[in-house]
Chain A
Amino acid sequence: MAHDEERVGNTDPGRAAREAAAGRAAIAVRPGEFQHSAPGKREKVFELKGIDVLYSGVAAVKGISMDIRRNDVTALIGPSGCGKSTLLRCLNRMNDLIPSAEVKGELLYHGEDLYGPTVDPVQVRKLIGMVFQKPNPFPKSIYDNVAFGPRILGNKENLDQTVEQALRGAALWDEVKDRLEGNAFGLSGGQQQRLCIARCIAVEPDVILMDEPCSALDPISTGKIEDLMIELKQEFSIVIVTHNMQQAARVSDHTAFLMVELDADEDNRWGRLVEYDETEKIFTNPADKRTEDYVSGKVG
């Protein structure tokens, strides 16, 4: 991957100056600055310390503390309503878009406060991309979908190459190279989802967040996306929310299990992190009985 600082500098030299003038800095950390390291000692991409997320003052998740490592696929699993998606959306400040949402605690991204006053949420979402449950291509051509991000960022040089690289990265190139100008809606569901992944990686992010990316796909398309995740983690860090236990077991390196906690009156419920460990451990010998019951499907 190109050094991000260079790329921003090459394509939009005025940006840093404009941001400085606006009194805010782009998030300082750049993906190219990190060295790959042994799995056990990989650097932390995210450090969550006592994260609470509240909607209109009501907690949706409470007290989440965990580290997410570079070049890992980290899976968030748990029953409906346990706050997996809420937690995922914290990681690229998508919750900013909900006026009543509030994030408490400390969330560090490469050691820097992700919610710090000088951090630009737009830059955050460029570095930390997201793929949603339902494929959501723009009503444009395949080419324009992938070129969308780079164009907005002012990266118009070598656009053809950027689009091809992103489509190859998303294992879609061979299927669409002869119809790049065709409408994205003409693709199958699985192809659309890979197009969304291509659109995401075209802006060379550092992290890809995936919110149940395969729940609308058939097993063949699911298999392709899962293979893709294993390819992509060489370059990116991936956090995935999934309801499919076996998918978490197949693709992830670490798994976090969240569950719903109720107050004494059972009036309020919120998500709580129960166990976070290597995926192999979670699926062969989890430490917590509640994790065991959930991954074995013994409780509803």
Chain B
Amino acid sequence: MAPAETRVHYQEDLEQLEASALGGLDLVTGALGRTMEAVEHQDVELAQLVIADDDRIDGRYLEVHQALITLLATQSPVATDLRLISALLHVLKNIERMGDQCVNVCKLLPLSGNEPPADEQMVKRILTMGGQAKTLISQAKRAFEGRDVELAHDLVRQDDVVDNLNRECFRLALEIGDDADKREWAMTMLLAARAIERIGDNAVDIGEQVAFVVTGLFREFEDASRPGEAPSQSPLT
């Protein structure tokens, strides 16, 4: 005798909220794509558009966050549902932070002027970092949707690519020469690289939440405070 399904509406609500929260990752992917386009073409107007559009990501955050709190208050979720809601609250925060990082990059563009003394090698690496960060975001989404811990763990490997490119940007900036304008541009671009590097870290954090939902245990995939146990990701080393 198969037991009857109950609390169908609650289950539907929860599924819908998960889809809404993870849909926020698609918004970030779009914002990051436009951000990279703005970097590539030094398109300040497009950058302004990304900044204005961040309200959509913030709005998604507030809307789903409130609905999840209501669900906690009214439905007393436990076990997997409770872990899922806890994880979604984390993921929403990560999404909101990733959106802010795109805004950070876009705010840097006007500082370097209309025709900046751009270093082609450095721009190329930043664009590659952006592409790789997009891959990380979509992989984090797939891992969450599929409750795939292995795919979530693989985000660390993918994130290493971003971290290595960030270090290369740092090296290129050091070697950029004595021209004051060029040095200023390189410093600005290092901040942009750093923002993209943080997007990668946020994607890895989402992977950690996948593992929490599935196993009930939370642990960091990488521990930046214990470099002996995990390779240091700092561009300064």
A262 near B1 with CB under 8 A, answer yes
- Chain B interface size range: 10 to 19
CA A249 to CA B77, docked complex, whole Å: 12
Asked if A57 is at the interface of the complex by the 8 Å CB criterion, the answer is no
CA A73 to CA B76, docked complex, whole Å: 21
A286 near B79 with CB under 8 A, answer yes
Residues of A within 8 A of B81 (CB): 296
A245, A285, A300: which contacts B4 (Cβ < 8 A)?
Answer: A300
1/0 per residue, CB under 8 A from A, across B1-34: the answer is 1011111000100000000000000000000000
Asked if B82 is at the interface of the complex by the 8 Å CB criterion, the answer is yes
B1 near A298 with CB under 8 A, answer no
Q: How many residues of A contact B (CB 8 A)?
A: 18
Q: Which of A295, A297, A299, A300 has the most CB of B within 10 A?
A: A297
CA A293 to CA B83, docked complex, whole Å: 14
B79 near A300 with CB under 8 A, answer no
A266 near B1 with CB under 8 A, answer yes
B5, B77, B216: which contacts A299 (Cβ < 8 A)?
Answer: B5
Asked if B78 is at the interface of the complex by the 8 Å CB criterion, the answer is yes
Residues of B within 8 A of A300 (CB): 3-4, 6
A245, A291, A298: which contacts B5 (Cβ < 8 A)?
Answer: A298
CA A300 to CA B1, docked complex, whole Å: 12
Expressed in whole angstroms, the minimum distance between the Cβ of A199 and any Cβ of chain B is 33
Interface residues of A in 149-174 (CB under 8 A from B): none
Asked if B66 is at the interface of the complex by the 8 Å CB criterion, the answer is no
B6 near A297 with CB under 8 A, answer yes
A262, A284, A299: which contacts B79 (Cβ < 8 A)?
Answer: A284
Expressed in whole angstroms, the minimum distance between the Cβ of B72 and any Cβ of chain A is 12
A245 near B1 with CB under 8 A, answer no
CA A295 to CA B7, docked complex, whole Å: 12
A246, A284, A285: which contacts B76 (Cβ < 8 A)?
Answer: A246
A283 near B78 with CB under 8 A, answer yes
Asked if A144 is at the interface of the complex by the 8 Å CB criterion, the answer is no
1/0 per residue, CB under 8 A from B, across A213-239: the answer is 000000000000000000000000000
CA A266 to CA B82, docked complex, whole Å: 34
**Known A284-B82, A284-B83; contact A298-B76, beta-carbon cutoff 8 A:** no
**Known A284-B216, A285-B83, A285-B216; contact A249-B3, beta-carbon cutoff 8 A:** no
A283 near B3 with CB under 8 A, answer no
A283-B79, A299-B6, A300-B4 given; 12 more Cβ-contact pairs under 8 Å: A245-B76, A245-B78, A246-B76, A249-B78, A262-B1, A285-B216, A291-B79, A296-B7, A297-B6, A297-B7, A299-B4, A299-B5
Could you tell me which A residues sit within 8 Å of B by CB distance? 245-246, 249, 262, 266, 283-286, 291-293, 295-300
Could you tell me which B residues sit within 8 Å of A by CB distance? 1, 3-7, 11, 76-83, 215-216
24 A/B residue pairs, CB under 8 Å, sorted by A = A245-B76, A246-B76, A249-B78, A262-B1, A284-B78, A284-B83, A284-B216, A285-B79, A285-B83, A285-B216, A286-B79, A291-B79, A292-B79, A292-B80, A296-B7, A296-B78, A297-B6, A297-B7, A298-B6, A298-B7, A298-B11, A299-B3, A299-B6, A300-B3
